[in-house]
Structure formats: C-alpha cells, structure tokens
Chains A and B, each alone.
Chain A
Amino acid sequence: DGGITQSPKYLFRKEGQNVTLSCEQNLNHDAMYWYRQDPGQGLRLIYYSQIVNDFQKGDIAEGYSVSREKKESFPLTVTSAQKNPTAFYLCASSPSRGQGARMNTEAFFGQGTRLTVV
C-alpha cells in the first residue's frame, strides 16, 4: 500500500529532551512537509523539502530541525529550544513539478503524531 507513515502515533517526552518524529513515504514524491496543529490555529508549516538534501524553513521553524538524506524520509527533531512542543504533528508529501505535478495536485498526509511534553 502506498502512503505516508508517521511513527509513533503518540509520543511522550520530558521537558528539555530532544525528540525525533519519523515520517516515511513510499509514494516516490519529491516534496515533503511538516505541519504543526494546535487547537484554533490550524496547520502551520514548520519545514518543507522540495528535493533530497534540500529543505526550507516554514512559518514556525524555530526550535525544530529536519534532514532529508533520502527521498523516502523526512524526520523532524523537536529540540529543547521549542518553547511549547506539545502539539499534533502532521507530515505530508506531494509530487514536484518535475514529477508532473500541476496546480491541482494535492498534498497527501500521514496519520500524525501526537507529542506530549511533560
């Protein structure tokens, strides 16, 4: 089955610890995204990557880091510098224009990881 896998579904960490959220896709998509979802604030873009070994900051990148060493994988690290890390994190992917994506090509999402920092 093609899709995006985020693991784990629920994650608990102590304050001050870094934590890495996994996102793997087997859709062969060039582009991958990380969003944070908080009640009443919708989805806010943390980082996105258009191609392997390249990524850009989104609107709320502070306190987060990413890597894109493989096309299939786009892990997100929530560092201790992130002041309010408790949230629901969604990973997404989409084809690039080079892969034939058009304006109407949607983003495909994983099931999300709910991170709670105590």
Chain B
Amino acid sequence: AQKITQTQPGMFVQEKEAVTLDCTYDTSDQSYGLFWYKQPSSGEMIFLIYQGSYDEQNATEGRYSLNFQKARKSANLVISASQLGDSAMYFCAMREITSWGKFQFGAGTQVVVTP
C-alpha cells in the first residue's frame, strides 16, 4: 500500500504567488516524521523542512511552511512568494518509528514558476 500520496503531478504558479503542494500519508505509528525535499532539474535532492508527529506547531523554514493536519494525515507544503528558482520537483517523505531505517517517498509534484 502506498504510504505517501502526492496527488498533484504538476502545477504552474506565477512568480510572487503562494503555492500549496499536497501530501497525505498512511501510518499506524504514533511517532513519525515527515520531510519535504526539492529536486531541481540537476537531480540533486535538497532537504527543505521537517514536521514531527508530536510537534504542536506547524514547521516553518524561510518561505517554506507546513500545513500539518494530523487527524487528516496530511502535511501540505506551502511555498510563499514563489521565485523562478523554485521550479523543481518536490517530494514528501516519511520515516516511521517502527521502520526507522526507511525513508518512504511519494511520487512527487512538478512545480513550474512562470514570470
């Protein structure tokens, strides 16, 4: 069964606008962590932001923030004030306490920022 679901294969967003990337997850663990990575066309994976299952506040990191809704099992990434350099593939990933060694990734969302 798919542990991480990203339902948006691709999105266009205008420069300076905000964009929300959806991520839902499936776990029966009480303790888990959610990660977002950015992959530019060069292929490297850049870690952006983390949200823990016990974190009461939504994570923020510069222009990135997480809209974490634990009951709905969703951890959507919000990019504010989009820039041309934000054009990339974005992946949501999860680590569960019962399978510590594994990072499980979603299918990704391709974001294209237009002038």
Contacts and interface: CB of A to CB of B under 8 A. Distances in A.
Interface in A40-87: 40-45, 48, 50, 56, 58
Q: Which size bracket describes the interface of B in this complex?
A: 20 to 34
Interface residues of A, number: 27
B106 A58 contact: no
Contacts of A48: 101-102
Tell me whether chain A's interface is mostly helix, strand or loop, or mixed.
strand
B103 A92 contact: yes
B50 A42 contact: no
A40 B43 contact: no
Contacts of A58: 102
13 contacts: A31-B101, A33-B103, A42-B107, A45-B102, A45-B104, A56-B101, A88-B43, A92-B45, A104-B33, A104-B50, A104-B52, A106-B47, A111-B43
Which of A42, A94, A112 has the most C-beta atoms of chain B within 10 angstroms of its own C-beta?
A42
A42 B101 contact: no
Tell me whether chain B's interface is mostly helix, strand or loop, or mixed.
strand
A11 interface: no
B11 interface: no
Interface string B1-44: 00010100100000000000000000000011101010000111
Contact of B6 (A42, A97, A107): A42
Interface in A83-105: 88, 90, 92, 94, 97, 103-104
Contact of B103 (A50, A107, A114): A107
Interface in B47-79: 47, 50, 52
Interface string B93-114: 1010100111111111000000
